[in-house]
Each structure stands twice: as C-alpha cells, then as structure tokens.
Amino acid sequence: MPSPTPNASDSVSQTGSHLTPHAGPLLDRAAAARLDAAATTRCGIPGLLLMEHAAIGATALIERELAANGIRRVVVLCGPGNNGGDGWAIARLLRRRDVPVEVVELAPPEAPGDAATNRAIAIAFGIPVRPASDLYAPTVAQTLDDALVVDALFGTGLARPLAGPPAVLVDVVRGRPALVFAIDVPSGLDADTGSVLGTCLPADVTATMVAPKIGLLSPGSEELRGRIEIVDIGVPADLIEAFDVSGRNPPNRG
C-alpha cells in the first residue's frame, strides 16, 4: 500500500538547495541495494515478498490513475531485472482486478530468480505478452496511445547509457501520447545524479520504492519523473533510517 510519507513535492529538504524540497529519507543507488539486502538478511523478508509489496502499492496507484484519467487498459513494459519483476507482478494484480493488461517484454529475466518467478506466474494467468520489437511497427506502437504505460524496464541499478534495443524501445514509446507510470525511476534516469543515460522515458508519475532516489530530486528531473509517489514495501522504519542518505542520520549505519 502507499506509504503515509508525504509526496516529495510537498516537503522540505535537509540535503541542500540543489535538490527539490523533501523532508523524508532519501536513497541513492547503493543505499537502495543495501537496504533490500538488509531487509532479507536481517529481517528475513524474502525478495519475492518485497517485490509483491512493491507491486501491490504500485497497482493501487495505477488504478487511481486509470480512474482519474478515464483510461481502461494498461501496457506494462518489462525489462530483464527486478524492475521488470515488479512489472510482471503488477500485470498479474491488474489482471485479477479485471483490468485489460498486456506485457511488452524487452528480454526475459534470468532463472531462477524473483523476476523469473513473477514472469512465470503472470504467463500462467494468461496475460498476453509480445516482444518489444513488435512496437517498432508504427501501427502496433499506435496501440499505446489510449493506454497507461507502466515503465518497468530499468530501475535504480542502471548506471550505463541505454543503447541498442532498449534505447530503440524507449524512443518508440516516448513518441506516443500515452500516460507513462514509472516504477522506482524512469528508465534512463540516473538514480544518483538525475542525468539522462543516453535516452530516457519521461514519466507522468513515478512510483518510487521506500523513499525518493536523489536523482529524482535533482535539477531538471521534474520534466522526466513527473509526480513522485512513495510506495511502502514493508521494510521497518529503523532500517530505512539506517540507509537514509539525506544527512539527517549518521552515514553508513546500515
């Protein structure tokens, strides 16, 4: 479910004037990865459960966007990593709520793994899947125009410029008028700096897990990430504080 933490745009920053105002905790790429690992090793929360919490919270926000904008169908773009795993879980939850949904797959995740597990479950639910290359045809890309597009291609771990098929897919989708809902960070946005990694899929809404990533609050990021919503994935508050990089807590306590 969505966290009671206020939206990033409604708060006051403690990290410096170069960031968009925000009063809550912040994470960078390394802190986000270490937090997820600590949730499993210290608290015994399986990665699959963290992914499910992320999908539940994001799905609730997606349903709200569908109702607010009069949109009836969803296209989920899934990458090969855990961000894509979130996307597969979101697709399954939407299917259970009778929302017309299909997945556009950039590449399958490695198996075994949490993302591969969610992919297998979603396929067993009968969710339509098409390869990303299908969207290269303009007549197929037009089918995005009346949909809400969930960007679950690349998350906070992306640290290299997008190139090849991922870049082509991002550029195809960004050329359509669809409403884009990003998972954690817009694909192609550097989670630490807010810079564009080759190309970026701008989002109307970004559902970021646990806390905003520093790059989402960096100058100029507003045009790429849209409105920020924070999703609670079931991690204890004291663990979040341990990895907070906002400067309010002693560093590296995690």
Q: How far apart are CA 113 and CA 129, in angstroms?
A: 19
pLDDT of residue 3: 36
What confidence tens digit (pLDDT) does each residue in 198-210 have? 999 999 999 999 9
Q: Find the mean pLDDT for residues 119-134.
A: 98
Higher pLDDT, 144 or 253: 144
pLDDT of residue 11: 32
**Per mean pLDDT, which range of 130-139, 227-236, 245-254 is the poorest?**
245-254
| Residues across the chain | 254
pLDDT of residue 23: 73
Q: Domain boundaries in the chain?
A: 8-243
Which helix H or strand E contains 253, and what residues bound it?
A: none
Show the tokens assigned to 125.
Answer: 């639910």
What confidence tens digit (pLDDT) does each residue in 25-57 have? 999 999 999 999 999 999 999 999 999 999 999
Which helix H or strand E contains 13, and what residues bound it?
A: none
Q: How far apart are CA 149 and CA 83, in angstroms?
A: 14
pLDDT of residue 21: 63
pLDDT of residue 251: 54
**Per mean pLDDT, which range of 6-15, 38-47, 125-134, 175-184 is the poorest?**
6-15
For residue 5, pLDDT over 70 is answered with no
Using a 10 angstrom Cβ sphere, with 0-12 exposed, 13-18 middle and 19 or more buried, the burial of residue 250 is exposed
Give residue 22's pLDDT band: very low, low, confident or very high (50, 70, 90).
confident
For residue 127, pLDDT over 70 is answered with yes
Q: How far apart are CA 225 and CA 155, in angstroms?
A: 13
The CATH H-level superfamily of 8-243 is: YjeF N-terminal domain (3.40.50.10260)
DSSP assignment of 145-203: TTEEEEEES--TT--S---HHHHHHHHHHHTS--EEEEESS-TTB-TTT--BSS-----
